[in-house]
Amino acid sequence: MQHARCDQHDRDAILGNRDALGAMTGHSEQVTSRNPKVIKLERPVASKPSRMRVAAYARVSVDSDELMHSLAAQVSHYSAHIQTNPSWEYAGVYADAGISGTATRNRIEFQRLIADCEKGMVDIILTKSISRFARNTVDLLKTVRHLRERNISVRFERENLDSLSPDGELMLSILASYAQEESLSISENVKWGIRKRFSQGRFLAYAIYGYRWVEDHFEIIGEEAEAVRFMYRSFADGMTLTEISDALVKRGIFNRRGQPFGKSSILRILDQEKYRGFSVLQRTYVEDHITHRKKMNTGVLPRFEVQGTHPVIIDEELHEKVEAERERRRQAGAARWRRATCFTGKIACGHCGSTFTYTPNTWSGELTQFQQGHYQCSRKRKHGAKSCPAKSLPVYTLRQVCCSLLGPIIGTSDCDPFEEAWIDNHVDHIIAFAGTLEFHLTTKEVLTTPWKNTAKRDIWAHRRAVAQQHINSEVLS
């Protein structure tokens, strides 16, 4: 009985506390005991247009007459198919011609279609098959998922597949893999055919400066052939690529696009064996059918030399002169065959044997005679100060040394201005040590002289003298 009275007392206390809490919050037991009213908040759905905006995509990979007719037929078919459907609104047909489907970056119309989809201008895309849309599995799935996020459907007619269907992505993955493997098979077959033609000495005709293709053979274009010979002769005579380019402009000679010949274009012409009457086939090859990136054939595949493919423009004697000049410049180490000063290619390091290369002064203001750049050991420049103890040689210091050392030989005094012809005509090469220079003359005589970098000291002395002259002129005025 005592336990029952205690339980009853506890229940009364709890009820009393609940009533007190209800009074404090403004709620009563009757309100809390009622069933709460629950309202379901529906997610707002964007209203779709009454008519779906439908576009189509078509593509052919080879720019031939037969396939261009096929592409035109696809465009006509989809235009009529979309416009005859009353529930569809025509959004256009996008077509790429002569472009592979293994990548999307070069397909201008495809990119324009995706951009229009992102702008909300298309609801449905029609295409003939997966292989027409993309042969790269990664690109295909990435594009389809991107469009699915915008609730845009891609419908593949041959496979009867809708990308928005529940099993759409699974089926796309499987079928896209087949399309990519089919592309690999086609690529290998094409490569085999090209290599077979190369082994037989047959190749596809293409445009090359100096020639025109007439029926089944090449013919020389007189004016262009003379420009090619000028490039070879000028290079063999020691002109740089920049000087050759400038000389061509002065002569009014331009490339087929009406632009001046650049250094890389001239270099490719100097490398072109067809001007000597033969062709080297399979110099490059495509390693991956997805990226289509070309690589130089350094022995991975056989190369073929076919004689008599082109009329001769450059004879062997001129070609050998060009190759000898290239080797001379290569041995001299002139950076990009650029003669910065008369000392370029003539200075060698006495410590490690490397060539001294030129660095121009980067001062943005007007340069004085003390700020004409410097030469530095190429090994030290590349591997750091610890790799070679050689010091940098300012051009100003080199000129000073030449004036004092070569003056008695040439018949000039220290006060006469330096001339680059002194180095060109009398100095074969110079060997630079940390404190001495060895001048090896063209007469086989060797002259040794100490040297010290006084450029900084001399430039400050020059500036002080200029400042003092300015002060004196103000005082006199």
pLDDT per residue over 213-271, tens digit each?
887 788 899 999 999 999 999 888 888 888 888 889 998 999 988 999 988 889 889 98
Rounded Cα distance between 33 and 115, Å, is 58
For residues 216 and 321, the answer to whether their CB atoms sit within 8 Å is no
Rounded Cα distance between 329 and 324, Å, is 9
Rounded Cα distance between 304 and 279, Å, is 8
Rounded Cα distance between 429 and 112, Å, is 61
What pLDDT is stored for residue 106 in this prediction? 74
**In this structure, which long-range contacts are made by residues 384-389, counting pairs with CB atoms below 8 Å and at least 24 apart in sequence?**
387/352, 388/349, 388/351, 388/352, 388/354, 389/351, 389/434
Query: Low-confidence residues of the chain, pLDDT below 70?
Result: 1-34, 42-49, 62-67, 98-105, 135-138, 168-169, 171-206, 282-283, 285-293, 299, 331-340, 361-371, 413-415, 455-463, 477
Kindly report the CATH class assigned to 211-330: alpha beta
What pLDDT is stored for residue 451 in this prediction? 85
Q: Give the DSSP letter string of 305-349.
A: EEETSS--SS-HHHHHHHHHHHHHHHHHT-GGG---STTTTTEEE
Tell me the pLDDT tens digit for each residue of 390-416: 888 888 888 888 888 887 777 776 667
What pLDDT is stored for residue 425 in this prediction? 84
What pLDDT is stored for residue 61 in this prediction? 73
Q: How many contiguous H segments (helices) and E segments (strands) does the chain have?
A: 15, 18
Rounded Cα distance between 385 and 377, Å, is 10
Rounded Cα distance between 224 and 255, Å, is 9
How large is the C-alpha radius of gyration of the chain?
40
Start-to-end Cα distance in the chain: 128
Rounded Cα distance between 118 and 148, Å, is 11
What pLDDT is stored for residue 335 in this prediction? 43
Rounded Cα distance between 95 and 238, Å, is 52
Phi and psi torsions of 378, nearest 5°: -65, -30
Rounded Cα distance between 114 and 17, Å, is 67
- The pTM score is 0.40
The CATH number of 52-184, from 3.40.50.1390, 2.40.30.10, 3.40.640.10, 3.40.250.10, is: 3.40.50.1390
Q: Domain locations in the chain?
A: 52-184, 211-330, 340-458
Q: Which residues, other chains included, contact 244 with Cβ-Cβ below 8 Å and sequence gap of 6+? A: 231, 234, 235, 261, 266
Rounded Cα distance between 91 and 85, Å, is 13
Tokens of 364: 């943005």
What pLDDT is stored for residue 1 in this prediction? 45
For residues 390 and 351, the answer to whether their CB atoms sit within 8 Å is yes
Tokens of 303: 């190369």
Rounded Cα distance between 156 and 163, Å, is 8
